[in-house]
Structure 1
């Protein structure tokens, strides 16, 4: 596993209950500001193995990025269970719920 992948996994695991981070925010905190797509791949490939809170990761607009309706509804349900409300349009208010890991990971 690359050091970047390890940092991404560590950052995702650190997202507290009731908060979200964006793919790009995670990539930047891990040291690759343009690596949002790599974060997507890491989440897809390693969520189960590393027990990642995948549901706490959204796109830059605060939207659930999953296309599959069942998975999308599951993510909204998991977030709601943690107190994160999605608007009628399915967006998460990033001003309210975005987690800022600070400079711990840089």
Structure 2
């Protein structure tokens, strides 16, 4: 194995012919562009679902997975069937929060 001194390496001419970065006429490779959205599946949803109907189906199991498990235990081998959408009813008004207690000095 040959060992080269630092002086030998620095004195050797550079063989790589690089373009001068300060030269505005220097050739530059074209920038490759690929959208990050390429390859994303299109049209995954084949149909739209009425949101009221979807909410009514979820409301059948108010405590979530626990209620679903209990339903499956009571109905072995059956799959939950969608229920009819509830009649259109006005949405309840949101509750108005109580005013926050005053901060600072109370006189």
TM-score w.r.t. length of structure 2: 0.19
Considering only CA atoms, is the larger Rg found in Structure 1 or Structure 2?
A: 2
Higher helix share: 1
Structure possessing the higher relative contact order (Cα contacts under 8 Å, 6 or more residues apart)? 1
